[in-house]
């Protein structure tokens, strides 16, 4: 996997991600710490022209440094639940139903890390995984949030409900989030950018919840909606 940008690479190094090769633009300053730490891990450091970096870059926003790292290591749902248990906290889980835009997934990872979510569940197929773009957009959050890639989202929801986890899906037709108790073990399902939560998936959830809106635009970006719901959960738990 390729990671671009200084902050993303610094976070990757700090998290212990193994870097195979580090490509650095000649003549740029302010990256001495990245070079030194990468070398200390045994990475091969290559100094090159900006034109060469541009060819390697997927985003075009490499800011003078690109790292080739090991592929992202996914967690399991059990890992996420164990983290909540170890912290002595009620489960706080995000389930993403077919998010395809890596920028949205990266932003949701950032929201999850900032809001203290224990982890994220994504489907293995027909959705974006954790790639270099996701890592960059997450601004380092991808190194600190557990992500489980599962074969079937619906089976995961069924298993959570059997363990008395409240599963709510975000839907504009649902009840107001303020009237939904999220102080217990809670999983929030966020749907895809274009289609929302699939009908079967929604039917398995305990309740559909909505964000009150008064504007003329009738929907929010998936990552923005996720952020609002996450912080409503936090508000409720702090108030309790």
Kindly tell me if the per-residue pLDDT of 70 is higher than 90: no
The percentage of the chain sitting over the pLDDT mark of 90, rounded to a whole number, equals: 62
Stated as kind and residue range, the H or E segment containing 227 is helix 222-239
Helix axes 222-239, 102-115, angle to 10 degrees: 10
Kindly tell me if the per-residue pLDDT of 216 is higher than 70: no
Burial class (CB in 10 A: 0-12, 13-18, 19+), 169: buried
Kindly tell me if the per-residue pLDDT of 199 is higher than 70: yes
Report whether 33 contacts 22 (CB < 8 A).
no
**Model confidence, pTM:** 0.86
Quote the DSSP letter at residue 101. Answer: -
Kindly tell me if the per-residue pLDDT of 126 is higher than 70: yes
The domain 77-239 is classified under which CATH number: 3.40.1280.10, 3.40.50.150, 3.40.50.720, 3.40.5.10? 3.40.1280.10
Domain coordinates in residue numbering, the chain: 2-69, 77-239
pLDDT at residue number 82: 97
Kindly tell me if the per-residue pLDDT of 61 is higher than 80: no
CA-to-CA distance for 23 and 4, rounded, in angstroms?
Answer: 10
Write the CB contacts of 64 (distance below 8 Å, at least 6 apart in sequence): 6, 24, 25, 28, 31, 50, 53
> 2-69 has which CATH code?
3.30.1330.30
pLDDT at residue number 143: 86
pLDDT at residue number 200: 95
Report the range of poorest mean pLDDT among 33-42, 51-60, 175-184.
Answer: 51-60
> What is the chain's mean pLDDT, rounded?
91
Kindly tell me if the per-residue pLDDT of 45 is higher than 90: yes
Kindly tell me if the per-residue pLDDT of 218 is higher than 70: no
pLDDT at residue number 217: 66
Torsion angle defined by CA atoms of residues 20, 26, 32 and 38, in that order, rounded to the nearest 10 degrees: 0
Report whether 99 contacts 122 (CB < 8 A).
yes
- Average pLDDT, integer, range 131-147: 89
Burial profile 93-117: b = 16 or more Cβ within 10 angstroms, e = fewer: bbbbbbbebbbbbbbbbbbbbebeb
């Amino acid at each position: 996997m390729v990671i671009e940008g200084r902050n993303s690479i610094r976070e990757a190094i700090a998290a212990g991600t193994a870097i195979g090769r580090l490509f650095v633009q000649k003549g740029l300053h302010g990256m001495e710490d990245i070079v030194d730490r990468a070398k200390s891990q045994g990475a091969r450091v290559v100094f090159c022209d900006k034109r060469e970096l541009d060819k390697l870059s997927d985003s075009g926003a490499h800011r003078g440094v690109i790292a080739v790292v090991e592929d992202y290591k996914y967690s399991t749902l059990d890992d996420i639940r164990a983290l909540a248990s170890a912290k002595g906290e009620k489960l706080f889980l995000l389930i993403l139903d077919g998010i395809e835009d890596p920028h949205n997934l990266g932003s949701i990872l950032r929201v999850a890390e900032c809001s203290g979510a224990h982890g994220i569940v994504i489907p293995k197929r027909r959705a974006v995984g954790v790639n270099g773009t996701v890592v960059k957009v997450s601004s380092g959050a991808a190194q600190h949030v557990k992500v489980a890639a599962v074969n079937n989202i619906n089976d995961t929801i069924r298993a959570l409900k059997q363990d008395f986890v409240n599963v709510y899906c975000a839907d504009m037709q649902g009840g107001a989030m303020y009237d939904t108790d999220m102080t217990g073990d809670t999983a929030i399902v966020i749907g895809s950018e274009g289609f929302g939560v699939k009908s079967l998936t929604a039917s398995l959830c305990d309740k559909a919840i909505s964000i009150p809106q008064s504007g003329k635009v009738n929907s929010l970006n998936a990552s923005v909606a996720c952020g609002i719901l996450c912080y409503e959960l936090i508000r409720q738990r702090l108030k309790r």
